[in-house]
Chains A and B, each alone.
Chain A
């Protein structure tokens, strides 16, 4: 199920997403977005993360490095209205908000529904949410869900062996861990003691 709003952007984003899935076994480590529960909780909550898998070339770190390399824009590229970009880790002049008044909406790429009991994914696969963050200040993110071979990790397990279907790998301030997907609008959808917290993929919740 793909619900991309913009055909070109969606295809482009889809290719990028497939690329990221190809390069890593797990396309997630999501940031959980409910800080109050855990005092210091990832990015205020939990972040869906690209989990590197041993032996697989190019995990999250490789991608992040590549993004970081690629994202160093020229001042003209990233600084409309004369704003200056950040100068890098050794010298960080004041960041000037570019003021993104007309950022396009996020690009949605749903190959499957992570909450559905039955999915179009192949045997041994699960449906996993993902997010591709914007690489410049005024471009939209791409998010959605893609089929991928299921891992072994259940609720609370480290993501090192991937996550079972119906789970997502998140950064929660407790190492990367697989958490069960949950419905954010339900009053108590999680196992005893756990709560449903939003992750940084729109509409996705995980039991923390």
Chain B
């Protein structure tokens, strides 16, 4: 301060007047002429800047007892993504970012009306509501576009869990092991696998084995059928508190269909339920739990040529209603059933070994057909029909032979064919044994492709329209052929796969064996 003593006295007097004005001492009188925020209307004497009755941003200051004309503070940091303002208390400029980081992941989202990353958007967080998504983040398999490159779970592929080799499920001392089915209960029970294996010469039994969800110790194998005669199977499904399993079994001279329910530890809950009792073979059971009943379909030659039959069973395994014949154009085999409480879809193969077709139909309650039967492929040599429910759609898979190639098609919610027959395996390869895991809007295809050492397992992510969506992953690499039999979600989004492989035998050759592999999702580059 550089006030003179006289000036200070005057200023003090004026200040008192001014203070009196603020305190109402001058009510009824003329107010002192003060500086307004709009500019100068007059001059007042002052002692400090505050006496000039202006905030610091207007640049009014008291100099030698006189309020000088304002010199407003101009705040502009030349950043279009900030709102600049002067602090009235200090006169300092403050820049406030226009784009907010609501999810506090360190990257702001765009300002209103702009898209992430576009000019003037001031923010490139593609999802400012999720701290798991921001540019530069590592892509994970979590249904989120973690790295904000516009693709959810891009390059996602299912690969063997790190450090986990395929687990041998079948007893190495047994011959002719063949995978049947796999279901996941919960994290405490893990998986149940079903496979057939030759316990003694001429006595192939259906065996179930509990498998740890996380690679821990597996349970002991438990034979399901206690009778003589081969048994093969079986699809396994989880209901929420128990498993259902079906198989074909020739304990009575020709193959019949049997069913039972299993406790979470894999032990039978009661006697086997004989589902068929008919002349000739009943084979290839396929099983779905729709939330209230088991739906079981199989191929049956009781009337001279194979036809498809269906039967419902209760949660307790009681047969419900009558057997239902599911009509086909003739010679229907290899049924595969998929669905949920909202309905079912059945795929099968008709014809003989040289001239065949793949047909798909939707079924409602009681196996009542809904809509027409669709011929997905016709007049060729086909095998391995398979169908899976993917969201509101059904995805059908099959193999066309000579050479073996995997095809797929998508049936829409209305029953219309949304994606016609599309080749899914790489051209020029021998590819067989397709199954799939539905992800809702996408799916994971698992199939086997021939190499110099035999068929190896591959996984390929696909979009809902059956377009490759990410990198293929090779799952096995071993002498002999590997073919997947079943695949299901396990704990925490990982995937269990039961597959047939080969095992060195005592004679230096190879024997068939059943393996389990746990896959995890890996995404990004």
How many angstroms from the CA of A65 to the CA of B254 in the assembled complex? 10
Complex interface bits, B244-285 against A, C-beta within 8 A gives 1, otherwise 0: 000110111111001000000000001111111111110110
Taken together as a complex, chains A and B put the C-alpha atoms of A185 and B503 apart, in Å, by 10
Produce 1/0 per residue, B378-393, CB < 8 A to A: 0001111110000000
B396 CB to closest chain A CB (Å) equals 12
Task: Count how many pairs of residues, one from A and one from B, have CB atoms less than 8 Å apart in the complex.
Answer: 271
**1/0 per residue A117-160: CB within 8 Å of B?**
00000000000000001111111110100000000000011100
- The answer for the CA separation of A141 and B196 in the assembled complex, in Å, is 17
A82 within 8 Å of B by Cβ? Answer: no
Give the residues from 336 to 363 in chain B that come closer than 8 angstroms, CB to CB, to chain A: 336, 349, 351-354, 356
- Whether, in the assembled complex, A173 has its beta carbon less than 8 Å from a beta carbon of chain B, the answer is yes
A43 near B353 with CB under 8 A, answer no
Q: Which residues of A contact B434 (CB under 8 A)?
A: 39
A198 in contact with B178 (CB, 8 Å): yes
Q: Which residues of B484-518 are within 8 A (CB) of A? A: 484-485, 498-500, 502, 505, 507, 509-512
B354 near A156 (CB under 8 angstroms)?
A: yes
Q: Report yes or no: A105 in contact with B200, Cβ–Cβ below 8 A.
A: yes
With A171-B281, A200-B230 already in contact, the answer to whether A135 and B253 are too (CB < 8 A) is yes
A42 and B283 contact, Cβ closer than 8 Å, known pairs A36-B484, A105-B201, A135-B253: yes
Check B229–A141 contact: CB distance below 8 A. Answer: yes
Interface string of A47-69 (1 = CB under 8 A from B): 10100000000001100110110
A71 B510 Cβ-Cβ under 8 A: no
Majority SS at the chain B contact face: strand
Return chain A residues, CB-CB under 8 Å to B276. 89
Q: Which 10 A-B pairs have the closest CB atoms?
A: A44-B232, A185-B509, A106-B202, A173-B334, A177-B353, A36-B500, A36-B483, A36-B485, A175-B352, A95-B274
Interface residues of A (CB under 8 A from B): 31, 33-45, 47, 49, 60-61, 64-65, 67-68, 71, 86-89, 92, 94-100, 103, 105-106, 133-141, 143, 156-158, 171-177, 183-188, 192-193, 195, 198, 200, 202
Q: Beyond the given A65-B280, A186-B510, please list 20 additional residue pairs across the A-B interface where CB-CB is below 8 A.
A: A33-B176, A34-B512, A35-B232, A37-B384, A37-B481, A39-B386, A40-B384, A41-B384, A43-B248, A47-B281, A89-B323, A94-B271, A95-B272, A97-B271, A137-B229, A156-B353, A173-B349, A183-B509, A187-B509, A193-B430
